[in-house]
Chains A and B, each alone.
Chain A
Amino acid sequence: MAEGSSIDTLQPGSLVEQVQHLSLISREIAAASLAGQHPTKRRGSSVEFAEHKEYTPGDDTKRIDWRVYARADRYYLKQHQDESNHRVYLMFDHSGSMGYGADASAATRGLEKRLYAARLAAALAQIAMSQRDRVGLLTVGNGAVDLLPPRASSTHFEEVLARLIAAEAKGVSDFALASQRLIESSRQGAALIVLSDMYDRSGALIDALATLAARRFDVSVMHVMHPDERDFPFEAPAFFSSMETASKVFVHPRLVREAFIKRMVEFRERTAVQLRERGVGHFVAFSDQDPGPMLAEYLVMRARLVQRGIA
Chain B
Amino acid sequence: MTFLFPALLFGALAASIPLAIHLIGRRHAGTIPFGAFDFLEEVVLRLSRRERIRQFVLMLLRVSAVALLALAAAAPVRHFAMVAKSSHDLLLVIDTSASMGYQQGKGSLLERAKQLATQRLTDNNAEQVLIMTSGPEVRALLAAPTADRGQAKAAINALKDTVGSADLAAATRQGLASFSGRAVEVVIISDLQKSALLGSNVVGDAQVTRLALVDAAERKEPQALDNVGITELRTELQGDGAHLVTVTLQSYSDNAVSSEVRLTVDNEVKARSFVELAPRTKSEKVFTLNDLPLGEHRGTLSITTPGDGYAADDTAALVLETLREPKILLVNGDPRSVPFRDELFYVERALSAAVPPLQVTTISHEDLASVTLSDFAVVLLANVPAPRESVGRGLAEWVDQGGGLFIALGDRVSFEAYNEVLGAVLPSKLRDQFALADQKAPDALAQAVGLSSMDWSHPIFRRFDAGSEGSFTQSHTFRHFFVENPQNATALLRFSSGVPALLEGRSPSGRGHTLLWLASLDRDFSDFAIRPVFSPFLALSLRYLGGALRSVPDQAVTAGSNVMLRAPAGANRAELVRTDGSATPIALSATNGNVRIDTAGAYAIAVAGKRISGSSFTVLPSIVESDFAIADVREAGARLGASSEALSASTSGDRPFEPLSQFAMLALGLVFVSQSVIARRG
List A residues at the B interface (Cβ < 8 Å). 97-101, 103, 105, 113, 197, 199, 201, 226, 228-229, 232, 234, 236-244, 247-252, 254-256, 259-260, 263-264, 267
Contacts and interface: CB of A to CB of B under 8 A. Distances in A.
A241 B37 CA distance: 7
B25 interface: yes
B682 A243 contact: no
Given A229-B36, A254-B682, A256-B40, 13 more contacts: A100-B35, A236-B30, A238-B30, A239-B30, A239-B31, A240-B33, A240-B41, A242-B38, A242-B41, A249-B45, A251-B40, A260-B40, A267-B39
Contact of A241 (B25, B26, B33, B51): B33
Contact of B43 (A105, A113, A259): A259
A302 B34 CA distance: 31
A237 B29 CA distance: 7
Instruction: Tell me the dominant secondary structure on chain B's binding face.
Output: helix
A259 B29 CA distance: 22
Interface in B151-188: none
Given A239-B29, A250-B29, A255-B51, A113 B41 contact: no
Closest 6 CB pairs of A and B: A100-B35, A242-B37, A97-B35, A239-B31, A229-B36, A240-B34
A237 B36 contact: no
Nearest to A113: B35
Contact of A199 (B25, B32, B38, B44): B38
Interface in B56-83: none
B35 A256 contact: no
A234 to B, nearest CB: 7
Q: Which of B29, B30, B43, B682 has the most CB of A within 10 A?
A: B43
Given A238-B31, A249-B41, A250-B29, A259 B36 contact: no
Contacts of A237: 25-26, 29
B46 interface: yes
A229 B507 CA distance: 129
A263 B36 CA distance: 11
B51 A243 contact: no
A105 B51 contact: no
Nearest to B42: A263
B569 interface: no
A242 B31 CA distance: 10
A267 B31 CA distance: 25
11 contacts: A229-B35, A234-B32, A240-B41, A241-B32, A242-B38, A250-B26, A255-B47, A259-B46, A260-B43, A263-B39, A267-B39
Nearest to A229: B36
Q: Which of A238, A240, A255, A256 has the most CB of B within 10 A?
A: A240
Instruction: Tell me the dominant secondary structure on chain A's binding face.
Output: mixed
A196 to B, nearest CB: 12
B528 to A, nearest CB: 120
A94 B335 CA distance: 166
Nearest to B39: A263
B29 A100 contact: no
Contact of A247 (B29, B35, B37): B37
Contacts, number: 98
B539 to A, nearest CB: 113
Contacts of B36: 97, 100, 197, 199, 229, 260, 264
A260 B39 contact: yes
A63 to B, nearest CB: 45
A238 B32 contact: yes
Given A255-B47, A259-B43, A241 B38 contact: no
Contact of A251 (B33, B44, B46): B44
A254 B58 CA distance: 14
B34 A100 contact: yes
Interface residues of B, number: 24
A236 B37 contact: no
B37 A243 contact: yes
A256 B38 contact: no
Nearest to B45: A249
Given A247-B37, A259-B46, A260-B43, A239 B682 contact: no
A243 B47 contact: no
Nearest to B51: A255
Interface string B9-33: 0000000000000000110011111
A113 B36 CA distance: 12
Interface in B213-259: none
Contacts of A249: 37, 40-41, 44-45
A26 B44 CA distance: 40
Contact of B32 (A97, A105, A226, A244): A105
Contacts of B44: 249, 251, 256
Contacts of A228: 34-35
Contact of A264 (B26, B39, B46): B39
A211 to B, nearest CB: 23
B680 to A, nearest CB: 11
Interface in B332-347: none
Contacts of A263: 39, 42-43
Contacts of B47: 255-256, 259
A161 B386 CA distance: 171
A98 B34 contact: no
A248 B32 CA distance: 9
A243 B34 contact: yes
Nearest to B48: A249
B33 A238 contact: no
Contacts of A98: 35
Contacts of A113: 35
A197 B36 CA distance: 9
B249 to A, nearest CB: 81
Contact of B35 (A234, A243, A248, A254): A243
A142 to B, nearest CB: 16
A262 to B, nearest CB: 9
A31 to B, nearest CB: 31
Contacts of B45: 249
Contacts of A260: 36, 39-40, 43
Contacts of A254: 682
Contact of A256 (B31, B37, B43, B55): B43
Contacts of B33: 100, 103, 105, 240-243
A279 B34 CA distance: 31
Contacts of A103: 33
A280 to B, nearest CB: 21
A7 to B, nearest CB: 21
Contacts of A251: 40, 44
A91 B35 CA distance: 19
B40 A240 contact: yes
A97 to B, nearest CB: 4
A263 B42 CA distance: 9
Nearest to A260: B43
Nearest to A245: B37
A175 to B, nearest CB: 16
A255 B37 CA distance: 16
A229 B32 CA distance: 13
Contacts of A236: 29-30
Contacts of A256: 40, 43-44, 47
Nearest to A197: B35
A252 B26 CA distance: 10
A113 B35 CA distance: 9
Interface in B295-319: none
A259 B44 CA distance: 9
B39 A241 contact: no
A242 B34 contact: yes
Nearest to B22: A237
Nearest to A254: B682
Q: Which of B33, B39, B55 has the most CB of A within 10 A?
A: B33
Contacts of A242: 33-34, 37-38, 41
A253 to B, nearest CB: 10
B151 to A, nearest CB: 55
B33 to A, nearest CB: 5
A189 B42 CA distance: 38
Contacts of B55: 252
